[in-house]
């Protein structure tokens, strides 16, 4: 905790002496969002017109530039289903099926407001070109334009808290310029020395009353074996 506070104070001092760039902000936000490798447990709640339609619990193992393996732990009907994400590729394994099924990035993720592609790896600092379009006493507002054609959204408007350089809200736009989703970030908690949002709410602008809430229950920074990220290993 002392290290986290010291880093925040050091960055605050830096900002008072030098004008921060949009690229420096997005890099800091990316760094604050997660670890290079580790494990987390999350709860995903799908809500339609104020009613909970689906609730899923999952264990997630991840390693930057290698992949993400998600194993569902509840409810019983979804238990032991697995999803593997490796760059632009995604597979699902269902117990009882001989091999994993390749998924399309455009499809809905488990019937929620997320698309499969929303969950695939992307780097805000490398996949988008950013500029500061607004600055207040408390936040920066960035316009992020896609430089990687494989990402889900051509433009993202991101509000970033100045003090801790954490994302507060995002607006996600299609290639045609239409707002399609919003994401709100809240419940700041410390995980392994890093402060990050523990709750993310995704709202589908096109379907009124449709939203998905993601709750990060815990997250740890730990060494992960590269061999885990293989479609063949999903069936074991």
User: Which residue spans within 30-178 are E strands per DSSP?
Assistant: 37-48, 51-63, 67-74, 82-86, 89-93, 101-102, 128-135, 139-146, 155-161, 166-173
The predicted pLDDT at position 112 comes to 84
Concatenate the DSSP letters of all residues of 153-199 into one string.
Answer: -SEEEEEEETTTTEEEEEEEE-TTS-EEEEEEEEEEEEETTEEEEEE
* Residue range 180-215, pLDDT digits in tens: 999 999 999 999 888 999 999 999 998 888 999 999
Domain ranges of the chain: 2-235
The predicted pLDDT at position 16 comes to 47
What CATH code would you report for 2-235? 2.50.20.10
Instruction: Report angle CA 123, 129, 17 to the nearest 5 degrees.
Output: 95
Q: What is the pTM of this model?
A: 0.85
- The residues, any chain, with a CB within 8 Å of residue 113's CB and separated by 6 or more, are 46, 181, 202, 203, 204, 207, 210, 211, 212
> How distant is the alpha carbon of residue 96 from its chain centre?
30
Q: How far is CA 127 from CA 137, 184, 224, in A?
A: 28, 21, 25
- Mean pLDDT by 10-residue block, N- to C-terminus, for the chain (236 residues)? 52 57 92 88 94 96 93 96 91 92 84 78 79 97 91 93 96 94 96 92 91 95 95 87
């Amino acid at each position: 905790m002392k290290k986290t506070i010291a880093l925040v104070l050091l960055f605050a001092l830096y900002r008072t002496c030098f004008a921060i760039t949009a690229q420096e902000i997005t890099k800091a936000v990316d760094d604050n969002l997660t670890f290079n490798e580790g494990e987390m447990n999350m709860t995903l709640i799908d809500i339609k017109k104020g009613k909970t339609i689906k609730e899923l619990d999952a264990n997630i193992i991840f390693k930057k530039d290698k992949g993400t393996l998600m194993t569902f732990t509840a409810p019983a009907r979804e238990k032991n289903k697995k999803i593997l994400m490796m760059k632009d590729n995604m597979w699902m394994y269902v117990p009882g099926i001989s091999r994993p099924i390749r998924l399309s990035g455009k499809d809905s993720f488990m019937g929620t407001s997320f698309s499969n592609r929303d969950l695939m790896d992307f780097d805000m600092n490398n996949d988008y070109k950013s500029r500061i379009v607004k600055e207040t006493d408390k936040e920066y507002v960035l316009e992020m334009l896609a430089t990687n054609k494989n990402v889900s959204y051509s433009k993202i408007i991101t509000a970033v808290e100045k003090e801790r350089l954490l994302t507060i809200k995002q607006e996600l736009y299609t290639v045609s310029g239409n707002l399609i989703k919003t994401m709100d970030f809240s419940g700041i908690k410390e995980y392994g020395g890093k402060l990050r949002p523990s709750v993310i709410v995704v709202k589908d602008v096109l379907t009124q009353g449709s939203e998905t809430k993601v709750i990060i229950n815990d997250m740890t920074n730990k060494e992960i074996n590269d061999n885990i990220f293989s479609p063949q290993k999903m069936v074991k």
